[in-house]
Structure 1
Amino acid sequence: MAQSEELFTTRMRKATRKIHSVSDALVNAKFAISLSDENVWGGGLFVFYHIFSYLEDAKKRLNMTDYEKLFVSDVLLRKDAFEDDLLHYLGENWRSTPKSMALENYLEHLQNLERENPKLLMAYVYHLYLGLLSGGQILAKKRSVFGDANSQVGKYIDRVTDFTDVDIAQLKKDFRQAMNEIAAKMTEEEKRAFIEESNQVFLMNNLIVNSIGGQNKVLYNVLYKTSAIVLLVLGVMLAYKMNK
């Protein structure tokens, strides 16, 4: 690669910056609620489990060199870790939890890609696993520091975000390098299609995050309590003015 040529990962980051920012804001806002309700965290793990699980199972089905190459280390494989965490947060019957329509649509889209253009599944591998190594670590730290004192946060270590004894910075570097090496063999048309699908990754992530059960209930409770306080203050102010 010529010294002046822009890395494909850099090109993707620029092309997805806008939708990526929206996705980050939504994920942070949604999962912030999980600090006071572990069921919400469990619900988030549930929807993303199905996506990560699909991508890891596809690795076995496809037997595709570039797809294999993108999984630069076995430490990236998170399916078993997800299952351990889901057992902890949602209980033994977590597998019977119904999937939202957004999640069903996401999985159907992945199935269509696997049949029609499996190379584009790598866009999901790249962005989702990189997200787990980046934002996922931040969310895990926030939960351990700011979690509800009455919850099990701090007592149970989430396996899916646990990369103990792993040099995450180096792992991310290797991950990006593998993506760039794969992209070096793509045609310009294939690169454009990959970037277009990368935007789709964040869009679909937003839809499933928005569908996570329980969060609306928690948010409603927060807003209800806040409204009650505001009404109380307004009532006191009104009474003060009337008796002034």
Structure 2
Amino acid sequence: MLSFRRGQVTLQQYKLLLCSLYEIYQALEEELERNCNHSGVAPIYFPAQLARLEAIEKDLEYFYGQDWREKITVPAATKRYSHRLRQIGRENPEVLFVHAYTRYLGDLSGGQILGQKTQKSMGLKSKKGLAFFAFPNVSSPKLFIELYCSQMNTMELTEEERNGVLEEAVRAFELNIQVFDDLQKMISVTENQL
């Protein structure tokens, strides 16, 4: 992530990130859709505004070609994150919003800046390959984030559920950190082989 923030991202780094994001968002969006009527999901379910999977698929096809599904690789931490999303979708859908909040709002709030830095860093002449960073159905990220947070605040949670949410929030951040650590290791191994 430091490479992204510094505007020093390489094509290889970005492609590996997209592969992981695909797996994570596939699990998240499938579980959100499956549980969209659950009281812990319905208030924050905004697929038209937030869904990332289709955008990531476009980016992967742009960089890997039409057979991209056969070419992508993801680190073990990504698989663990995806597994966790599917597990809570089945067992505790009331905490899915923690992961939706962590992923979507993080990507929405920093997406435009990171997209511009990525485009410049990789020397891309157009926005092709950068669909992940675009939220065409969100006219104002700031206002949408406010709406999203107000919707989250409508959820009534028991003391036990609040504790579960806090534990899951910590886990969400840990899982994201592990994904980025594993991606960095994959990049380092690949670069050392060159």
- TM-score bucket (shorter structure): 0.7 to 0.9
| Aligned partners of 1:71 and 1:175 also within 8 Å | no
Question: What does residue range 195-206 of structure 1 map to in structure 2 within 5 Å?
Answer: 195-206=166-177
Q: 1:191 aligns with which of 118, 140, 162?
A: 162
1:210 positional shift: 1.7
1:140 positional shift: 1.1
Matching of residue 42 in structure 1 with residue 15 in structure 2? yes
The aligned residue for residue 57 of structure 1 is 30
CA distance in 1, matches of 2:57, 2:177: 22
Q: 1:93 aligns with which of 67, 76, 79?
A: 67
CA distance in 2, matches of 1:110, 1:73: 17
CA distance in 2, matches of 1:40, 1:91: 17
1:217 positional shift: 5.0
| Aligned partners of 2:26 and 2:53 also within 8 Å | yes
The change in CA–CA distance for 1:77 and 1:194 in structure 2 (over 3 A counts) is same
Q: Using the TM superposition, name which of 163-172 and 212-221 deviates more.
A: 212-221
The size of the alignment, in residue pairs, is 189
Percent identity (aligned): 26
Q: 1:115 aligns with which of 70, 90, 96?
A: 90
Q: Which has the larger radius of gyration?
A: 1
CA distance in 2, matches of 1:38, 1:214: 14
Unaligned runs of 5+ in 2: none
The aligned residue for residue 18 of structure 1 is none
Q: 1:74 aligns with which of 48, 69, 73?
A: 48
Q: Using the TM superposition, name which of 132-141 and 118-127 deviates more.
A: 132-141
The Cα RMSD (Å) is 2.6
| Aligned partners of 1:120 and 1:197 also within 8 Å | yes
| Aligned partners of 1:78 and 1:160 also within 8 Å | yes
Task: Name the TM-score, length of structure 2 as normaliser.
Answer: 0.84
1:93 positional shift: 2.6
CA distance in 2, matches of 1:109, 1:118: 11
The change in CA–CA distance for 1:37 and 1:217 in structure 2 (over 3 A counts) is farther
Unaligned runs of 5+ in 1: 1-26, 222-244
CA distance in 2, matches of 1:33, 1:44: 16
CA distance in 2, matches of 1:60, 1:73: 8
Could you tell me which amino acid in structure 2 is paired with residue 55 of structure 1?
A: L
Look up the SS of the partner of 1:92 in the other structure: coil
Question: Runs (4+) of structure 1 moved beyond 4 Å?
Answer: 217-221
